[in-house]
Amino acid sequence: MLFALAALLISDGTQATPRTAQACDYRVEHAIAITGPAANDSAVAEIIGENCEQAAVLYHIFDGTGRRVFFGASTVEFLWSSVGEPPTRDQLVRFLSTNALHVGPTPARASDLPEQPRGHDVGDGFCLSADPVTYIRARTDGGPLITVMEDPEYPTYLWYDDLTGRAVRLGTGCY
């Protein structure tokens, strides 16, 4: 009875309308191995919007089964705030293809990050975002890092945490 009621509620005739492609849409996907050494994961960066000046920039990391383990977002307006002139679609495509997401950043592994976190300002070009326990676990694990540009000036460093099954923000570059 409960199953029949649930089926009736789900099949109320409402259908999702697929989103149509917009003028500024663009997507870049990289094969990565962040959840394990032989993993078949993927990192995706995409721009969505009709007007490139006001488009959204989205970041996803999916594990080998297609489960999203990270989502981050920014806006073109925020990322371009220090540049001045609004970007063209070609400039955004170049940004997304080369700068928005790095699957082999420097430092490339969590074990390469500074040893002693001191509050928010760690030093050595790195500012801590994660709690100290997660940061120490990441350094001990030594797993690979990925960076995404959620800020116009500094990359965000991501590390996959086996305990939570998610990619977590360890910190940002700060100089």
What is the per-residue pLDDT across 97-143, written as a single tens digit (0 to 9) for each?
887 777 777 778 999 888 865 555 555 577 888 988 999 999 999 99
Which of 30, 56, 16 lies closest to 158, judged by CA? 30
Q: Which helix (H) or strand (E) holds 79?
A: helix 76-79
Q: Give the integer Cα–Cα distance in Å for 110 and 26.
A: 30
Which tokens is 45 given?
């960066």
pTM: 0.79
Looking at residue 59, the DSSP 8-state letter turns out to be: E
Share of the chain above pLDDT 90, in %: 37
Share of the chain above pLDDT 70, in %: 83
Backbone angles phi, psi at 20, to 5 degrees: -80, 150
User: pLDDT per residue over 151-160, tens digit each?
Assistant: 878 888 999 9
Reported as a pLDDT band with limits 50, 70 and 90, residue 6 is: very low
117 touches 135 (CB < 8 A): yes
